[in-house]
Amino acid sequence: MQIQLTTTQPLSADTLILPIQQTDDLPEVLNALADRFNLTPAALQHDFKADFREILPLYQSEGRKTYLLGLGKELTAMIWLRAFRDLFFRQKDRLTPTVGVDLSGFDADVIESVVLGIRWGGYDLKLHSTAKPKTTEFYSEEGVLEIYITDQQQGIAEEVLHRAEAIAATHRQMLDLMNSPSNYKIPQVLADWAIASGQQHGYSVTVFDKAEIERQGLLALLSVNKGSEHPPVFIIAEYKPDNLPDAKKVGLVGKGVTFDTGGISIKPSTGMHLMKSDMGGAAAVLGTMEVAAKLRLPVHLIGIIPATENMVDGHATKPGDVIGSYLGKTIEVIDTDAEGRIILADGLGYMVRNFQPDVLIDLATLTGSVIGTLGYHAAGLFSNNDDLTSQLLKSATQTGERLWPLPLWDVYKEDIQSDVADLKNFSGKPLAGAISAAKFLEVFTESHPAWAHLDIAGMAFTDTEFGTQKNATGFGIRLLIDFLRNG
């Protein structure tokens, strides 16, 4: 499907979508529409309230069709995105090859959300189904999306469309990686993706294999990998903008656990299959690297992904074992299921020792506790820096990828004090688990002055109307791109 911007009316599309906000003027807006489509005004007002995601198809002569699409009262990026994703997902078989969307009069930024929603609406979860659904006409090569805008919007619209398409294409690949089963997604698959992406989009990617990980002394990562037949990888991606030697240096670290059984502290089997998605932090970091490089953003970005499975076998690390780490600190492994913080210890340690970024952000599907705290509606934000906190919160509001602050007070440090090692990976208590995990990570940032930890366990993989099981959201890419553009 191709996307075209147009300022000329009427649209050539046989299907037209008119997004309608629920304002006080709704009766007048509907009366004007009734006039335009030859309808009874009272009937139209009765049947369409412009509720969020409400759809009313109006049939016209010569097979033309117009959908009124309700947006509800408040217009945010996420509302636009979800309304369009929903309409295109539900109606995809009923769309004509050319579809028009009337965005005239709306803020040009809306184009980004609408394009992302429409692209996502065509996303197919059936990665491994042999009965592939036929590509619909609209989503095939011949499909065309015409976006109608005004002359005033034109200047910025091209740029917004370009950005939206860049994000949408990367986002889709991250959805595939997240939804991919672990037997198709061993750590090397993440490394191969990063290498190919770096070559295509002009950023450097170095992958440490197991031997190099041993030489480097990334002992914490190695300890989590011990029960797995697949070797770990340590991915280092670096994007530098051209001719900008003083660009701000941002370090991103993402948890890349391609499957989390819990290890010897094994998880219950109900829901364990969802742990193929325990690389949501890695997906956010890889996706952000690729989009930043595509858009040639004026920031110096470094992405680090420690990646491994967390498996059970005779070689696996056992509860009570004491392991080393890249920074030399010793860790008592109370619970082998608290493996994310262990591999992030090496990711963060390597980042601060070798790159000294101005800003350090890690993302991880780290704790069930953050889901207990914030549910599936926001990721936990932990930061020692108020400016960074407010910039990230601003991007969260802007994109609708919600974050909410949680504390890093030192009183929680006792949760990770060990009798036999420098620290332990679990307090042993079912209390404040997301916070003690963050306190654990803090130790490996070497007091970095601008660090943020995003616990995205509830946001990376969620229930939706688009599948019967939880599935990938791609959480973090839009958030971080907005942060990098404006932060």
Q: Is 260 in the site for ligand BES (CB under 6 A)?
A: yes
Catalytic position from the list 226, 341, 439, 478:
341
Q: Does 163 qualify as catalytic in the annotation?
A: no
Full DSSP string of 81-130: HHHHHHHHHHHGGG--SEEEEE-TTS-TTHHHHHHHHHHHHT----TT-S
Q: Find which of ligand BES, Zn ion, Mn ion, none residue 283 binds, CB within 5 to 8 Å per kind.
A: none
Q: Within positions 212 to 271, which residues make up the interface with Zn ion, using CB under 5 A? A: 257, 260
Beta bridge partners of 117: none
**Which entry of Mn ion, ligand BES, Zn ion, none binds 180, CB below 5 to 8 A by partner kind?**
none
Using the contact rule CB under 6 A, the part of the chain among 141-149, 173-181, 312-320, 366-374 near ligand BES is 366-374
Q: Is the dihedral of CA 367, 371, 374, 378 positive or negative?
A: positive
User: Of 149, 291, 301, 338, which lies in the binding site for ligand BES, with binding defined by CB under 6 A?
Assistant: 338
**CB crowding 71-110: b at 16 or more within 10 Å, else e:** bbeebebbbbbbbbbbbbbebbeebbbbbbbbbeebebbb
Nearer of residues 65 and 255 to Zn ion, judged by Cβ: 255
Please count the other Cβ atoms lying within 10 Å of the Cβ belonging to residue 7. Answer: 14
Q: Is 309 in the site for Mn ion (CB under 5 A)?
A: no
The encoded tokens of residue 380 equal 């936990």
Q: Applying CB under 5 A, which part among 37-45, 196-204, 333-341, 456-464 lies near Mn ion?
A: 333-341
On whether 102 is known to bind a ligand per the annotation, the reply is: no
**Is 267 tagged catalytic?**
yes
Q: Could you tell me if 186 and 258 are in contact, meaning their C-beta atoms sit under 8 angstroms apart?
A: yes
Q: Does 260 bind Mn ion (CB under 5 A)?
A: yes
Q: Are 79 and 71 in contact (CB under 8 A)?
A: yes
Q: Which residues contact 196 (CB under 8 A, 6 or more apart)?
A: none
Site size for ligand BES (CB under 6 A): 16
Residues 228 and 336 sit within 8 Å (Cβ to Cβ)? no
| Annotated binding-site residue? 470 | no
Rg of the chain over Cα atoms, rounded to whole angstroms, equals 24
Please report whether residue 113 would count as binding ligand BES according to CB under 6 A: no
- The reply on whether position 306 binds Zn ion by CB under 5 A is no
Say whether the peptide bond before residue 10 is cis (omega within 30 degrees of 0).
yes
Confirm if 79 and 54 have CB atoms less than 8 A apart: no
Q: Please identify which residue in 14, 335, 358, 446 interacts with ligand BES, judged by CB under 6 A.
A: 335
The answer to whether residue 283 forms part of the interface with ligand BES (CB under 6 A) is no
With CB under 6 A as the contact rule, which of the stretches 72-80, 205-213, 350-358, 364-372 interacts with ligand BES?
Answer: 364-372
Q: Which does 369 bind (CB under 5 to 8 A by kind): Mn ion, Zn ion, ligand BES, none?
A: ligand BES
Which residues make up the interface to ligand BES (CB under 6 A)?
Answer: 260, 262, 278, 335, 337-340, 365-369, 426, 433, 457
Catalytic residue numbers read 267, 341
Binding region for Mn(2+) = 255, 260, 278, 337, 339
